[in-house]
Chain A
Amino acid sequence: MNNFPLLPPPLLSAPPDAIAFYRNTTAITYAVLRADLVAARRALIKLNAPEVVLHDDDAYTFIVWLIACWQNGQTALLAANDLPATRSFLPLPWVGHCSDSALSDWSNSAANTITDAAAFPGSAPQFDCPGMVVFTSGSSGTPTRIFKTPTQLYREAALLQQVFGDALPPDTRFVGTVPHQHMFGLPFRFIWPLWAGYPIITEPHHQPGELGRLAAEPHVLISSPAMLKRLAQMETFSPSARFLATFSAGSPLHDSVAAACEKRLTTKMIEIYGSTETACAMHRVAPGGAWNELPGVTLALDENGCLKLRSPLLPDDHWFHTKDTAVHDDNGWRLTGRADRVVKIEGRRVALDALETALLALPEVSEAHTAPLYGKRDEIVAAVVLSDAGRTQLRSLGKSRFDRWLRQRLSMSLDRIALPRRWRYVSALPYTTMGKITTADIVRLFEQHALPPFAVTTRKTNEMVLTLALRDGAQAFEGHFPELPILPGVVQIDWALRLAHRYFPIEGHFSGFRQLRFQRILFPDDEVSLTLHFFPEKKEVHFAYTSSHGTHSQGRALFTYSVVAPDNA
């Protein structure tokens, strides 16, 4: 272990004119890389700081700064951005192309530096001490520091090459859609190819279509489920590049996405299991393969049914406990969910991830997110984006029967208590700008006031008239004005929208009201009719509450079909 090389071997052994990087179609040779590393090392030594914050949007300069830090025995803290909050959180010298950088380039030091490649790696001490710090948002949301030594990263690179390298000829180009400063992009897009001598394309490819511009050469694609999901939908996409392998990590790849990408890119889809803390621990061939350990990694289940692992990529030989639940069979491991999304429903443990996995396995479901709702009885609620097949099924069955039909399908594989009891079919899940979904945003979709008993008096394709027995739905009046029970406007709106959703095939998001008017107070003893008109072309529902006293309230509910694209998912 102590004899592990402290530098990627090609940095010493590759011919000077061999290509190390492609940066905006310009080739960077090993001669240039070596000279840049020496210049960066000199600049960093002049900075005279044991720790620096590294942030650079250019992946080439980023990686040169990083390796130069390691060569000097300096520790680089990787910042995800250079926003003021991050800057004040990390009051150290900042290095790279970023705001208020203490060291934005190495060109000044390059002028008077040793440019003789033969002198590389120079005489500065190379210690294998901290080297790098990455931050992860722990379960609490507070950033946690994870220390990585260069040896850990190089060891991972060597393992990846040992497992996957046989299928990759030396001229294979590595290209990625994931950020270079994260613990999937950095080892897979940069450290591994640098270790093994594969040329690296430095620009990130943010859009699936950009992959179409790659040359007709063999490539390895380092990507994410968020990108691959979109790529899978591009049915006519046919890139000229050859993709010998495509790696994905971060969250499970839906089988249908993996299958579509495999076909679209004529590639081998490989999923990686790991975390910032553990580095790569397992891999599998998607769709549907079992997970297998990387050589040297030992996996077992702990007393909570969660995976624990020992790995040469961890800082010590102790068991590292994950929150991932899994089962083992003859072929390897199958991940079944996350223990930290395990909720108690009526005293029973329900794993939301396992439930979502089961939902996503249904052809009717494209996306799903579930949450616990604790009320009179604990229950699971589900917000679901339906596939075309699902929308067709919903239209033909109606919501109530479709809800039950989904439950029935899920009950094949899940405890009945774990089945969602409330469903919302939405055009997009409520992602935050960070690409996350919060339980609060899901639960908000389910806020409701119990409907009063009602009878349908008129039923046409796009028109319904209902008679509501307000007296019997008295709980809606509770807590409003104790001495003067009236039906709050918000409840009237809620009822109108819910009944509209029940009887009309409305798709898309509710986006707001127009001409909303509350003209007469509604009392519990009013005999009230609710008239609903659906205008599919206008994506509007008009509602009116009327009684013998006249119109109580009316308005127009608007719906949109816009899709909120999840970013960084």
Chain B
Amino acid sequence: MSTLIDEIKTLIIETLNLEDVTVDDIDPDAPLFVEGLGLDSIDALELGVALHKRYGLAPSEDAEEAKQYFASVRRLADYVAAHRNH
């Protein structure tokens, strides 16, 4: 799981072109949005696309569900592990 967590952190950094942020800077349990990493709604859109491309995840139509798996890198890794298609 820790490899997947690092993989997702790298995906986030690369997809969102986060400047001066390294894998070590991201706390796997910190919120991705608003607090913690402080991502915004455009980032959520970009990340959704990247997750779809990399893992074959369908973009969630359920806002509540999306909120759940975007809660932290660890949550996201759990979600990816359970739903990935490739």
Q: Which residues of A contact B (CB under 8 A)?
A: 346, 375-377, 399-401, 403-404, 407-408, 411, 416-417, 419, 421-423, 448, 450, 453, 498, 501-502
What is the CA–CA distance of A411 and B38 in the complex, to the nearest angstrom? 9
Q: Which residues of chain B are within 8 angstroms of A419 by Cβ–Cβ distance?
A: 38, 40
Q: Is A404 touching B17 in the complex (CB atoms < 8 A)?
A: no
Given known contacts A411-B34, A416-B41, A417-B40, A403 and B20 CB-to-CB distance under 8 angstroms:
yes
| Min C-beta distance of A362 to chain B, whole Å | 16
Q: Is A408 touching B17 in the complex (CB atoms < 8 A)?
A: no
**Interchain CB contact (< 8 A) of B37 among A376, A404, A417, A502:** A404
A/B interface sample: 19 pairs, CB < 8 A: A377-B16, A377-B17, A377-B46, A400-B20, A400-B22, A400-B25, A401-B25, A403-B20, A404-B37, A407-B38, A411-B38, A416-B38, A416-B40, A416-B41, A419-B38, A419-B40, A450-B17, A453-B10, A498-B20
**Interchain CB contact (< 8 A) of B34 among A401, A416, A422:** A416
The answer to the question of B42 belonging to the interface, with a C-beta cut-off of 8 Å to chain A, is yes
What is the CA–CA distance of A416 and B38 in the complex, to the nearest angstrom? 9
> Which B residue sits closest to A453, measured CB to CB?
B10
Q: Which residues of chain B are within 8 angstroms of A498 by Cβ–Cβ distance?
A: 20
What is the CA–CA distance of A401 and B21 in the complex, to the nearest angstrom? 8
- Bin the interface of chain B by size: 10 to 19
What is the CA–CA distance of A383 and B41 in the complex, to the nearest angstrom? 24
Given contacts A346-B42, A400-B20, A400-B22, 5 further A-B contacts (CB under 8 A): A375-B17, A377-B17, A407-B38, A419-B38, A422-B19
Q: Which residues of B contact A (CB under 8 A)?
A: 10, 16-17, 19-22, 25, 34-35, 37-38, 40-42, 46
Q: Is A377 touching B25 in the complex (CB atoms < 8 A)?
A: no
Q: Which residues of chain B are within 8 angstroms of A408 by Cβ–Cβ distance?
A: 35, 38
Q: Is B38 touching A399 in the complex (CB atoms < 8 A)?
A: no
| Min C-beta distance of A453 to chain B, whole Å | 7
Q: Which residues of chain A are within 8 angstroms of B34 by Cβ–Cβ distance?
A: 411, 416
Q: Which residues of chain B are within 8 angstroms of A346 by Cβ–Cβ distance?
A: 42
What is the CA–CA distance of A502 and B25 in the complex, to the nearest angstrom? 12
Q: Is B38 touching A377 in the complex (CB atoms < 8 A)?
A: no
Q: Which residues of chain A are within 8 angstroms of B17 by Cβ–Cβ distance?
A: 375-377, 450
Q: Which residues of chain B are within 8 angstroms of A453 by Cβ–Cβ distance?
A: 10
What is the CA–CA distance of A163 and B22 in the complex, to the nearest angstrom? 58
Given known contacts A401-B25, A453-B10, A417 and B20 CB-to-CB distance under 8 angstroms:
no
Q: Is B21 touching A400 in the complex (CB atoms < 8 A)?
A: yes
Q: Which residues of chain B are within 8 angstroms of A399 by Cβ–Cβ distance?
A: 20
